[in-house]
């Protein structure tokens, strides 16, 4: 029997593992994130409003106005359009950053555990060096070369986040490599490629999905935080953290406008945390 894939598990076991994945927390996460992503990706096509268009005759209009459902900001820009574009931008940036960190982190973790020796020691030393530098400080160092640009922000976050994928992948791969299933597979004459693709990758799927959801949420918070301290993406870019900072001087006149981007960040991160939840 081939191992490492739900399709080759004994009858009934695959269904049990698949159903065990969909915990109440994960279903709640899906229920939150699906409408958010629909608003972020489909909303801009339906709204058809320029999020950068200013209208000084419609400044700080309260939500519920016929022409501006969610009101306007201090430049008369549509909050509905800016929230949709901001949620899209935050999620895409965080997703791409987490993906860029996950791919090399997982592959290097598998390589370190499978080869051992000098390669493993070198990769572990590299990960320790990265961990010795606070994540936000690493991002700030790169942003110093191009303030307010996406490239250094994305690269700095990815360089820091890959370490967690590497460490977990290395530990899990080392555990799987010493398991009876791998020993039996080797005795049957299957090569390293089969072991990696059919046993190790499926074994890593659960932990990596959890880590990926956490990393995406962490990236959303980091991007918003850096924008809040004026070193991330800068206005007029409709980024959720930057929107909060822009509207902060008008909190007494437009408290709801400040709460909306904050609520979008909270719901995105909450949904990702719920999706990352493991069944106890």
Q: What angle do CA 53, 58, 62 make, to 5 degrees?
A: 110
What would the mean pLDDT of 187-192 be, rounded to a whole number? Answer: 82
Confidence of residue 6 (pLDDT cuts 50, 70, 90): very low
Question: How many CB atoms neighbour CB 131 within 10 A?
Answer: 13
pLDDT tens digit string along 140-185?
Answer: 788 777 766 777 888 888 988 999 999 999 999 999 988 888 888 8
Of 2, 49, 40, the closest CA to residue 240 belongs to 40
Q: What is the pLDDT of residue 105?
A: 95
What would the mean pLDDT of 230-245 be, rounded to a whole number? Answer: 84
User: What three-state secondary structure class fits 168?
Assistant: helix
pLDDT at 15 over 50: no
Q: Which residue has the tokens 């309260």?
A: 62
pLDDT tens digit string along 88-121?
Answer: 999 999 999 999 999 999 999 999 998 888 999 9
To the question of pTM greater than 0.85 for the whole model, the response is: no
């Amino acid at each position: 029997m081939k191992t490492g894939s739900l399709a080759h598990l004994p009858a009934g076991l695959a269904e049990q593992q698949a159903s065990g994945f969909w915990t109440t927390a994960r279903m709640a996460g899906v229920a939150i994130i699906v409408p958010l992503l629909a608003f972020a990706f489909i909303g801009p096509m339906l709204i058809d409003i320029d999020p950068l268009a200013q209208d000084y005759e419609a400044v700080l209009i309260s939500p519920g106005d016929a022409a501006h459902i969610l009101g306007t900001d201090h430049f008369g820009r549509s909050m509905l359009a800016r929230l949709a574009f901001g949620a899209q931008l935050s999620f895409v940036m965080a997703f791409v950053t987490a993906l860029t960190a996950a791919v090399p982190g997982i592959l290097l973790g598998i390589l370190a555990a499978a080869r051992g020796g000098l390669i493993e020691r070198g990769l572990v030393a590299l990960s320790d060096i990265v961990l010795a530098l606070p994540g936000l400080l690493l991002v700030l160092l790169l942003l110093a070369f191009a303030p307010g640009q996406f490239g250094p922000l994305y690269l700095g976050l990815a360089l820091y986040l890959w370490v967690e994928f590497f460490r977990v992948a290395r530990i899990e791969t080392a555990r799987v490599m010493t398991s009876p299933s791998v020993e039996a597979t080797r005795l049957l004459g299957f090569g390293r490629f089969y072991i990696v693709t059919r046993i190790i990758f499926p074994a890593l799927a659960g932990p990596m999905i959890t880590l990926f959801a956490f990393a995406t949420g962490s990236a959303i918070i980091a991007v918003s935080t850096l924008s809040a301290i004026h070193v991330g993406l800068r206005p007029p870019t409709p980024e959720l953290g930057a929107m909060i900072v822009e509207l902060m001087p008008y909190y007494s006149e437009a408290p709801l406008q400040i709460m909306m981007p904050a609520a979008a960040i909270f719901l995105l991160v909450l949904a990702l945390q719920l999706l990352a939840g493991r069944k106890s």
